[in-house]
A = this chain, B = another copy of it.
Amino acid sequence: MPRGRTTIADIASEVGVSVPTVSKVLNGRTDVAAATRTRVEEALERHGYRKPVATRTAAATRPGVRLLDLVFHAADNLWAQEIIKGVEQVCGPERVGVVLSELGGSHRPPQEWIDDVMARRPLGVLLVLSGLDAKQRHQLASRNIPFAVVDTQGEPPSGVPTVGSNNWNGGLSGTRHLLALGHRRIAAISGPDDMLCSRARVDGFRSAHDEVGVPWDPDLIRWGAFDAESGYRHGREVLDRPDRPTAVFAGSDYQALGVLRAARELGLRVPEDISVVGYDDLPISQWLDPALTTVHQPLREMASLATRMLLTLAAGGQPPSMQVELVTELVIRSSTAPPPATTTTGAGR
């Protein structure tokens, strides 16, 4: 049987239940015995069943209820706020209600969440820095609920609509700026080393060094969380060394905030003694002291674009492109300057 041509009746007959029972499972109804539900789900997955778009629309017993699910692995910072703003900018005028979920730091939603999504039948699901496993992807696909990923990690699952930004270029441009100012000993504090976004930025950092033949010190490349605390901890370590760097490239504006504090505590002035580059260009970064030189990620635009892709898919259309990467851009403010005239390690050229 060709994939995708199976009907609800086929599934019902194979599992030995009624057509309405299969329909209930598809519509996220909870009044089906767990064992039956599992057998139906398995049959749906086996056949690669997909609900026709027209059926889905007709089956919507809730005219006027248009929802979009937005899922964060964690939503407690200004980064998340930018994403929310970008989604609202599209959904507000379209009168689509945005249902916000937070996974408490996990990068995979629990099954209860998928169950709830199937029950509320949103137009689509937008995942931020999180993903679905194969079973979850199939469950949404079989209900014809499209999903997309705002993925600054840079690893789009194949076939999933994704909007990201060019992390490698961001790492490259931030580091080039420091090298051009004359820095020859630069630390990189990045996010977790199992996130592709962190690794891409650090690779850009290394490439910028290689371009101009300046060696980088593996001891000065640090992996951590993207928060201020992590920036502070690594900042204290690298800036307290006798052979301390003259510049720090941070993986986020929050990490840069932590580095700024570490520098203050060690009596180092920014940018006179230490230059600091952030990443993200959150709105608050221009208000910091010193105003932060940082790599701008177009977070609102990324979220708006991903939302539009979802609404297009929900309406049965096809977005012009399924995997988009927006450009990052260096914003130069006051936290970077040439290195101090006499450094212990200034013999780079």
Mark A residues whose CB is within 8 Å of B. 28-31, 61-67, 69-70, 75-78, 80-81, 84-85, 88, 92, 95, 97-102, 104, 112, 115-116, 119-120, 228, 257-258, 260-261, 264, 283-284, 287-289
Instruction: Given A100-B100, A261-B289, decide whether A61 and B64 contact each other with a Cβ distance below 8 A.
Output: no
Please determine whether A287 and B264 come into contact, CB atoms closer than 8 angstroms: no
CB neighbours (8 Å) of A31 from chain B are 63
CB neighbours (8 Å) of A120 from chain B are 62, 64-65, 67, 97
Bound-state Cα–Cα, A288 to B292, Å: 13
Give which listed residue, B92, B257, B264, contacts A104 with CB less than 8 A. B92
CB distance from A23 to the nearest CB of B (A): 14
CB neighbours (8 Å) of A63 from chain B are 29-31, 119
Bound-state Cα–Cα, A70 to B64, Å: 18
CB distance from A12 to the nearest CB of B (A): 21
Please determine whether A261 and B287 come into contact, CB atoms closer than 8 angstroms: yes
Please determine whether A88 and B75 come into contact, CB atoms closer than 8 angstroms: yes
CB neighbours (8 Å) of A119 from chain B are 62-65
Copy tally for this chain in the complex stands at: 2
Please determine whether A62 and B62 come into contact, CB atoms closer than 8 angstroms: yes
CB distance from A109 to the nearest CB of B (A): 11
Interface of A, helix, strand, loop or mixed by DSSP: mixed
Bound-state Cα–Cα, A85 to B104, Å: 10
Bound-state Cα–Cα, A62 to B65, Å: 12
CB distance from A231 to the nearest CB of B (A): 9
CB neighbours (8 Å) of A81 from chain B are 75-78, 80-81
Contacts beyond the supplied A77-B78, A78-B81, A80-B81: 13 A-B pairs with Cβ under 8 Å:
A31-B63, A61-B62, A64-B119, A75-B81, A84-B84, A85-B102, A92-B101, A92-B104, A95-B112, A97-B101, A100-B100, A228-B284, A264-B289
With most chain B CB atoms within 10 A of its CB, the pick from A30, A97, A101 is A97
The chain B residue with its CB closest to the CB of A64 is: B119
What are the 7 closest A-B residue pairs judged by CB atoms, nearest first?
A: A64-B119, A97-B99, A257-B287, A30-B64, A65-B120, A98-B100, A88-B102
Please determine whether A99 and B99 come into contact, CB atoms closer than 8 angstroms: yes
CB neighbours (8 Å) of A85 from chain B are 75-76, 102
Give which listed residue, B29, B62, B84, B261, contacts A75 with CB less than 8 A. B84
The chain B residue with its CB closest to the CB of A116 is: B95
Bound-state Cα–Cα, A128 to B282, Å: 24
CB neighbours (8 Å) of A67 from chain B are 97, 99, 120
Bound-state Cα–Cα, A307 to B142, Å: 34
Please determine whether A289 and B289 come into contact, CB atoms closer than 8 angstroms: yes
CB distance from A284 to the nearest CB of B (A): 7
Please determine whether B98 and A99 come into contact, CB atoms closer than 8 angstroms: yes
Please determine whether B75 and A100 come into contact, CB atoms closer than 8 angstroms: no
Sample 12 A-B pairs with CB under 8 A, ordered by A number: A61-B62, A67-B99, A67-B120, A75-B81, A76-B81, A81-B81, A84-B100, A88-B102, A95-B112, A98-B100, A257-B284, A288-B288
CB neighbours (8 Å) of A65 from chain B are 116, 119-120
